[in-house]
Structure 1
C-alpha cells in the first residue's frame, strides 16, 4: 500500500503577528531585517540561481563531499545507532538533499521541517511516490526561534540533517543553542551538518557579490517582499547591495545601502535614512574545523567525524548524540 505524507503546522504562519518585530528592526539604531524574509517565491528562485553561479561554491562543494564520503558517513551512523533510525531534515525546502541520502542511509521515517508545510507539500508528495513504503511527515516550524519537536512525532534515534552551511546564519551563541536542541531532537542518534570554513577574503566576497548581480537581486528582493507583507514603501532603485567578509568577526555581512537621503513609511511608522545608511539583512559566520568541533562538543555531541574538500574550504560533520 502506498503511504500518504502527513502534514502538521506546529506554529501558525501569520505575517501580521510578525509585524511588530519587523518594524522594530527597521527602527533599531542599526536597521535590520531577518534573513527569513529573503524567501518568498521569487527569493527562493533567485537563491536557486545563486547556487548555479561560478562564485558560489558552497552548494557544489558540499554535494561533492557527500558524493565522495556518504558511504563512510552511513557506516558510521549504523555503527552508532544500528539499522533503524529516523531522518529529520531541517530547512528541508525541496527535500532534494535528504532524498539523495535515502539509498545509503535507509531511514525508516522522514521528517521534513520547514517554516511552512505549504512549502513542503508538493515535494513530499513527489518523494512519497518514489519511496512508497517510507513514513513521511512534513512539519511547519520556525526552528530559528526554537527547535521543539513533540515527542509523539517520531520514535528516534534520529539523524538530524542540516546541510547547506545554514548554521552560519546564527551567531555563535545562537548556533550553540540550536545545536543543543538538535542534540535533544536526535534522541541518541546523530547530527549531520554542513559548515562553511574560513578562507581567502576575495573568494568569500565574490561568493556574496557575484559579477552577474544575482545576489544583489536576491538581497534587494527583500524590500519587495516587505512592501507586500508589511505595507512599507521601499523603492528598490533607492538602494544598493553591499556584501563583504569581516575577518575580525569571521563573518560575511550583507546590507542594503541607501543611495540618497530618503524616508520609508509603513502603517503607523516611518524611518529616515541618510545617504549611505544601511539595513543589515544577513550575517553568515564562517568557522574553522577546530572551532566548530569544539562547539559540537560543547552542545553535548561526541565521536565527531569531519570530511572536507581538497581545499579545506567546506566541511561536513557527523557528530553522535
Structure 2
C-alpha cells in the first residue's frame, strides 16, 4: 500500500506563508538592530572623546578573535577564572540547588558554563543571552549534544537592555556573568546593570559573577596588548564591522590599537588611534580625525574585593561566597538577591 500524504495545497500555502512571515520578522529585527548600531556610532563619533560601545566588538569575526584572546598566555583572566570554577564547582552547585535554570548574560562560546552544568543537580534549562546570534546558536548546538536532558533556550538580544526570559520551571533562576565583563561598565552603569539582572531573574535568584582584581599595571597592560597582535585585530575588527553594517569608509590601516592602564580610574582603556590626519564618512556625516586622536572602544575596571561588594549591595545583591585564585588576581562571587532568603 502506498503511504498516504497528509499534505494539502492549503497546508503547503499556510506553511509557506508562515515561513515568509518569520523571514520578514527576522529581517525587521535585523534592520532595527542595524539602525540602533548606526545611531550609536554616529552619536559616539560626534562626542569630544570619540567612542563606540564595546558590545559591538562581537560580530562573528570579533567573537572568534575573542575566543583566541582567551587562550593567549598574557590573558590571565580566563585561566584564573576557569581554575576557580573548577576548584569550587561543587560548592557553587550546592548553592544553586536542584532543578535550577542557568541564565548566562553574554554567553559567547558557552565554554565556562559547562563547569556549572556539570556541578548542578538536575539543571532544568540553560538560557544563553547574546548579541551575536550565529555564534551563540553554534555554541548551543554543541551543548545540546552533550546535555540532552537540559532545555536549551537561547535568546538573541543585547543583555544590557530589557530582556524577556522564556518560560522556565519552578527551580531557582541563577544568573552567570563570567569573564570580568562587569568591568566594561562604569561604576554607576555596573550598579544599574546588576540591578537590571536582578529584575530579569526575579525574586529568589542568585548570580555567579567573575570580576578582575587590581594588580600590577604591567600585568594588566600585557593582557590587553598581546605580542601576537590578536587583541589589536579584535579592536580593529570593529572598524571593519562599522564599514560593512553602517556604510562607513574607515581605513583600518590608518588606525592602531592602543591599550593602557588609567591608574586614577583603576581601569584598562582600549582605544583606536588615528595614525594620520583624516576624514571618515558615514553617509552625509563627516568625522575629522587629527593625528593621534582616538576612538575609545573599551574600559575594563579592576576592583578591590570591598569595592565590588559595595557596588553589588547598592544594586540589591548580598554576598553568599567569594573565591579567588592563589595569586589574588581574579575573583568569582556567588550573590543572592536581597530578600530572597536561603
**Superimposed CA distance per residue, residues 141-164 of structure 1 (whole angstroms, 9 cap, x where no aligned partner):** 212234x32574554521100011
User: Residue in 2 aligned with 1:50?
Assistant: 69
User: What is the CA distance between 1:212 and its match in structure 2?
Assistant: 1.7
- Which string of whole-angstrom CA distances, capped at 9 and with x for unpartnered residues, describes residues 60-99 of structure 1? 1100011111112222333xxxx23211111112222112
2:260 to 241, 244, 247: 244
- SS of 1:30's equivalent in the other structure is coil
- Match of 2:315? 299
Partner of 1:71: 90
Name which of 107, 120, 134 aligns with 2:136: 120
Q: Over aligned residue pairs, what C-alpha RMSD do you find?
A: 1.9
2:53 to 27, 34, 45: 34
Q: Report the equivalent of 1:267.
A: 283
1 or 2 for the larger relative contact order (CA 8 Å, sep ≥6)?
1
Q: 2:239 aligns with which of 203, 220, 223?
A: 223
Which stretch shows the higher mean deviation, 220-229 or 181-190? 181-190
Alignment of 1:1-321 (within 5 A): 12-13=29-30, 14-78=33-97, 83-106=98-121, 107-146=123-162, 148-150=163-165, 152=167, 155-184=170-199, 185-321=201-337
Cα displacement (A) at 1:257: 0.9
Structure 1 runs of 4+ off > 6 angstroms?
A: none
Gaps of 5+ in 2: 1-24, 338-342
Q: Secondary structure at the match of 1:101?
A: helix
Contact 1:227-1:233 within 8 A present in 2 as well? yes
Deviations 1:34-55 (A, max 9, x none): 1122122222221111112111
Q: TM-score, normalised by structure 2?
A: 0.85
Superimposed CA distance per residue, residues 1-35 of structure 1 (whole angstroms, 9 cap, x where no aligned partner): xxxxxxx98x9333134312211211211111111
The DSSP-based 3-state class of the residue aligned with 1:28 is: coil
Q: Tell me how many residue pairs correspond in the alignment.
A: 308
Tell me by how many angstroms 1:244 deviates. 0.5
TM-score, normalised relative to structure 1: 0.90
In the alignment, structure 1 segments of 5+ residues that lack a partner are 1-7
